[in-house]
Amino acid sequence: MTEHARVVVIGGGVIGASVAYHLTRLGWRDVRLLERRTLTCGTTWHAAGLVGRLRGSRTASRLVKYSAELYARLPAETGFETGWRRCGSLIVARTPERLTQLRRSVALSRAVDIEAHTIGAGEVTRHWPLCRTDDLAGAMLIPDDGRVIPADVTQALAAGARAGGAVIREDVAVRAVAVRDGVVTGVETAEGPIACEAVVNCAGMWARALARDNGVAVPLWPVEHFYAVTRPMAGVTPELPVLRDLDGCVYIREEVGGLLFGGFEPHANPWKSDAISEDFAFSLSKEDGDQFEVLMRGAVERIPALDSAEIQLLLNGPESFTPDGNFILGEASGLRGYFVAAGFNSGGIASAGGAGRALAEWIVNGAPTMDLIAYDPRRMLPRHAEADFLTARMREVPGNHYAMAWPNKEPETARGLLRSPVHGRLAARRACFGTKMGWERANWFAPEGFPPRTVYAFGRQNWFAHSAREHRAARETAALFDQTSFAKLLVEGPDAGALLDRLAANDVAVPIGRTVYTPLLNERGGYESDLTISHVGPDAWFVVTGSAQRVRDADWIRRHARGLRVTVTDQTEAWSTLGLMGPRARDILARATDADLGNAAFPYGSVRQITVAGAAVRAIRVSYAGELGWELYVRAADATGVWDALMAGDDVTPAGYYALDSLRIEKGYRAWGRELTPDDTPLQAGLGFTVSLDKPSFIGRDALLAQRAQGVSRRLLLFALDDPEAVAWGDEPIYREAEVVGTLTSAAHGHTLGRAVAMGYVSCTPGESGEALVSARYEIDVAGTRLTAAASLRAWHDPAGARLRS
């Protein structure tokens, strides 16, 4: 008889053990964990065990915070030690810019309830007597951070999982995952098949190849990763905090009376191939003194005593990294019951607890219980999992871990996966390109004589004045944006209208020719997406969504379309999107078309088939800039002709994404992934007007009705900082009187308003009036300096939307 399990976890590293443990904690007893060799034998056994809780984002910090709590209590719960030691972290800054970065982290720490503070360079030796300090600008101390013994954590989690009913089998490799009709049905092993409802691919650096056999893209790649261990040294005690010198690319901690030091060199060494030999278990790569040289130098610069220390071990172990440095956690697109938890970018020990719990909740509840979009497998394209792309990108990913965390930082490697048909036109206009979801996109345009290259800074960056010009053009004359990276989905078929009616919170049962802005919500009433749906023909809807949501939204619509007469076609690359925005947009477009562009024939929120410069164009009258304007959907082959026709006069300015962002924030337009996440509802976001609660049924309706009855306990506010020179980037804490009440979700300079504008959720008491909310005293903590800000529930620019409809 075929063996049966409810879920099979593939891989017995720290991640698989954590997923199995948390599944049993949630009451699923019928769990199998299969490990091809021995628990921990992949990457986990040789990790350095650092558990630093203050990460780059609130979600990441919360996940690691939970891990630390778990590792501290597991021994009492399971009888197995984890080696948890609360030694703290000490992070030093060599430059004033790095100190600003640390101050920004300290500010964030308040919002995630992690104690952290900066200290002067002179105080560093009190915590780390061997540390050189004469070249330091300051440091940050995080007292409750710690370290663990990774193999022990894994064994403790496995013991907890077994106690909860899980069966853990070693020396059983999963050879294949069985699938029928897009749903997982079981796994094949050397010992026979096991039928199951779900698999969790926790196969570490093996995960990509295993997933590929089922057509699932898991973009990760093994990269060499190093540390060295010395013999015991005078002055080294177990109490020393973990020392991180980010500018020197190294971390340093005590290990059996000596020092263990490793780090993230700026140019890493990816494996040539990810074909891994069958007997790779408790294995390492060759020592490579040349590659380690930069880390050795950094460590000796910080701890001069290391110069004469005897190195007893130089370890080169592979670790899986991903293109954006975030791990991959969640259900795969298009294959129900196939979950992935892999690619932990050298943070798998620290993240395992939180990530394992989050994924177990997702599996048990059938949906994520928190915002995990930064880790969602659907945030990337299948082509991101190709070897050429990964090996090129992996050169820089590990180094980013300790590199300066500049706002707007763009990857430098593996660029140009997707180029807009007008890319050459943008380049000729001296665009400085960024990348999103594989696309090259113009961020800003440099004037003649000014290099189109962003110089990063925490203050105003070098593009400020140029982006300001583009922003003003959209407000005062007209700007042309290449928005080709927008995802475009055609949803058609006899059941398409009914399907979209169920998915969309707004009323999309509109006549052909109308465009509706709508949320797609989850059962919790939170945003799965925020998009426009245009009714373009009998049983045909054209769905336009953000660049990053391409795979995710197609998957969301398709998974709800099972059994219905609906087809969903991704047409993203077939259409170019040119956004003509500004008070002169109508006159400029009229030069290239005979179509009637007047308000009666072509009102705001409508879609028309028109001819522009001889090309058939689907024109939608909407604007993300908050101005009179049209998004023109042009067949890729016709795009340059239309671009040229629109640019023919001297009253159109090509504009980039930095301008679009400052325009939308000034106009109070929320962005998916920033203001709108699976944890935020339209009522909290102030977008109740986009929800049609009169509709008898749509996903999320019940949750919204309950929330409306109870009142919301957090609301989105728009801010304008009082100091016109202030620079905010997003993620800065918001203080109401003396208390942290939230963090900014987006920020930019509002060039029309003449000051920084921002948005962010603040906690409030249910039923608190809008007037009381906005009249409170608010401050934004920008790298340790609190700046006063005015708050509003209405947009700073054109709150009534008159310009859109002009």
Ligand X SMILES: Cc1cc2nc3c(=O)[nH]c(=O)nc-3n(C[C@H](O)[C@H](O)[C@H](O)COP(=O)(O)OP(=O)(O)OC[C@H]3O[C@@H](n4cnc5c(N)ncnc54)[C@H](O)[C@@H]3O)c2cc1C
Q: Is 371 helix (H, G, I), strand (E, B) or coil?
A: coil
Buried residues in 422-451 as b, exposed as e (16+ CB within 10 A): bbebbeebbbbbbbebbbbbbbbbbeeeee
Among 292, 344, 402, 735, which residue sits at the site for ligand X (rule: CB under 6 A)? Answer: 344
Triad 446, 447, 450: Cα angle to 5°: 70
Q: Which two tokens stand for residue 416?
A: 């140009």
In the stretch 100-139, what mask flags binding to ligand X with x, by CB under 6 A? Answer: ----------------------------------------
Torsion from C-alpha of 487, 370, 435, 622, nearest 10 degrees? 40
| Shortest reach from residue 325's CB to ligand X, in Å | 12
Q: Which of 8, 263, 64, 42 is nearest to 154 (CA)?
A: 42
| Shortest reach from residue 329's CB to ligand X, in Å | 11
| Shortest reach from residue 207's CB to ligand X, in Å | 7
| Comparison of 208 and 584: residue with beta carbon closer to ligand X | 208
Among 146, 222, 258, 317, which residue sits at the site for ligand X (rule: CB under 6 A)? Answer: 317
| Comparison of 262 and 750: residue with beta carbon closer to ligand X | 262
- Which residue carries 């960056």 as its tokens? 461
- Which residue carries 């945003």 as its tokens? 527
**Interface with ligand X, residue 16, by CB under 6 A:** yes
**Interface with ligand X, residue 33, by CB under 6 A:** no
Among 21, 28, 206, 672, which residue sits at the site for ligand X (rule: CB under 6 A)? Answer: 206
- Which residue carries 């948390």 as its tokens? 22
Measured distance CA(608)–CA(605) in Å, rounded: 10
In the region spanning residues 604 to 633, those forming contacts with ligand X, defined by CB under 6 A, are: none
| Comparison of 47 and 91: residue with beta carbon closer to ligand X | 47
| Shortest reach from residue 93's CB to ligand X, in Å | 21
**Interface with ligand X, residue 356, by CB under 6 A:** no
Among 5, 7, 8, 12, which residue sits at the site for ligand X (rule: CB under 6 A)? Answer: 12
Q: Which of 63, 86, 62, 61 is nearest to 73 (CA)?
A: 86
Measured distance CA(333)–CA(218) in Å, rounded: 11
Name the phi and psi angles at 96, rounded to 5.
-60, -35
| Comparison of 346 and 391: residue with beta carbon closer to ligand X | 346
What is the enclosing helix (H) or strand (E) of 716?
A: strand 714-721
In the stretch 721-760, what mask flags binding to ligand X with x, by CB under 6 A? Answer: ----------------------------------------
Among 159, 342, 521, 597, which residue sits at the site for ligand X (rule: CB under 6 A)? Answer: 342
**Interface with ligand X, residue 13, by CB under 6 A:** yes
**Interface with ligand X, residue 330, by CB under 6 A:** no
Q: Which two tokens stand for residue 509?
A: 């049962």
| Shortest reach from residue 38's CB to ligand X, in Å | 7
| Comparison of 284 and 648: residue with beta carbon closer to ligand X | 284
Who's near 755: CB < 8 A, 6+ residues apart? 720, 721, 722, 723, 724, 726, 749
**Interface with ligand X, residue 355, by CB under 6 A:** no
314 backbone φψ class: left, alpha, beta (φ>0; ψ -120 to 50): beta
| Comparison of 90 and 804: residue with beta carbon closer to ligand X | 90
| Comparison of 264 and 541: residue with beta carbon closer to ligand X | 264
**Interface with ligand X, residue 346, by CB under 6 A:** yes
**Interface with ligand X, residue 348, by CB under 6 A:** yes
Which of 48-56, 104-112, 127-135, 460-468 is the region at the interface with ligand X (rule: CB under 6 A)? Answer: 48-56
| Comparison of 138 and 348: residue with beta carbon closer to ligand X | 348
**Interface with ligand X, residue 211, by CB under 6 A:** no
| Comparison of 401 and 586: residue with beta carbon closer to ligand X | 401
**Interface with ligand X, residue 597, by CB under 6 A:** no
Buried residues in 326-347 as b, exposed as e (16+ CB within 10 A): bbbbbbbbbbebbbbbbbbbbb
183-189/192-195 β-pairing? antiparallel
On whether the CB atoms of residues 630 and 619 are closer than 8 A, the answer is: yes
Among 5, 7, 11, 268, which residue sits at the site for ligand X (rule: CB under 6 A)? Answer: 11
In the region spanning residues 518 to 577, those forming contacts with ligand X, defined by CB under 6 A, are: none
What number of other Cβ atoms are within 10 A of residue 170's Cβ? 13
**Interface with ligand X, residue 691, by CB under 6 A:** no
| Shortest reach from residue 274's CB to ligand X, in Å | 12
Q: How many residues bind ligand X (CB under 6 A)?
A: 40
**Interface with ligand X, residue 350, by CB under 6 A:** yes
| Comparison of 187 and 364: residue with beta carbon closer to ligand X | 187
| Comparison of 50 and 548: residue with beta carbon closer to ligand X | 50
Which of 30-38, 383-391, 695-703, 757-765 is the region at the interface with ligand X (rule: CB under 6 A)? Answer: 30-38
SS3 content of the chain, % helix, strand, coil (to 5): 30, 30, 40
| Comparison of 12 and 519: residue with beta carbon closer to ligand X | 12
**Interface with ligand X, residue 41, by CB under 6 A:** yes
Among 35, 482, 631, 798, which residue sits at the site for ligand X (rule: CB under 6 A)? Answer: 35
On whether the CB atoms of residues 94 and 148 are closer than 8 A, the answer is: no
**Interface with ligand X, residue 50, by CB under 6 A:** yes
In the stretch 164-183, what mask flags binding to ligand X with x, by CB under 6 A? Answer: ---------xx---------
Among 138, 164, 204, 546, which residue sits at the site for ligand X (rule: CB under 6 A)? Answer: 204
Measured distance CA(724)–CA(721) in Å, rounded: 7
Q: Which two tokens stand for residue 776?
A: 């409170």
Alpha carbon 581 to chain centroid, angstroms: 28
**Interface with ligand X, residue 319, by CB under 6 A:** yes
**Interface with ligand X, residue 296, by CB under 6 A:** no
Among 8, 20, 34, 121, which residue sits at the site for ligand X (rule: CB under 6 A)? Answer: 34
**Interface with ligand X, residue 48, by CB under 6 A:** yes
Residue 564 exposed, middle or buried by CB count within 10 Å (0-12, 13-18, 19+): middle
**DSSP 8-state class, residue 307:** G
Q: Which two tokens stand for residue 803?
A: 């310009």
| Shortest reach from residue 288's CB to ligand X, in Å | 13
**Interface with ligand X, residue 46, by CB under 6 A:** yes
| Shortest reach from residue 250's CB to ligand X, in Å | 12
Which of 87-95, 314-322, 554-562, 726-734 is the region at the interface with ligand X (rule: CB under 6 A)? Answer: 314-322
| Shortest reach from residue 292's CB to ligand X, in Å | 11
Measured distance CA(102)–CA(116) in Å, rounded: 10
89-93/242-245 β-pairing? parallel
Give the residue ranges of DSSP H helices in 370-518: 387-393, 397-400, 423-428, 464-476, 496-503
CA 594 vs CA 458, 484, 601, 635: distances in Å: 48, 24, 12, 19
**Interface with ligand X, residue 225, by CB under 6 A:** yes
| Comparison of 41 and 756: residue with beta carbon closer to ligand X | 41
**Interface with ligand X, residue 260, by CB under 6 A:** no
| Comparison of 322 and 461: residue with beta carbon closer to ligand X | 322
Who's near 301: CB < 8 A, 6+ residues apart? 132, 135, 245, 248
Residue type, 628: L
Among 32, 36, 94, 667, which residue sits at the site for ligand X (rule: CB under 6 A)? Answer: 36
E-only strand ranges, 437-514: 439-445, 479-482, 487-492
| Shortest reach from residue 328's CB to ligand X, in Å | 10
- Residues near ligand X, by CB under 6 A: 10-16, 34-37, 41-44, 46-50, 173-174, 202-204, 206, 210, 225, 227, 262, 315, 317, 319, 342, 344, 346-350
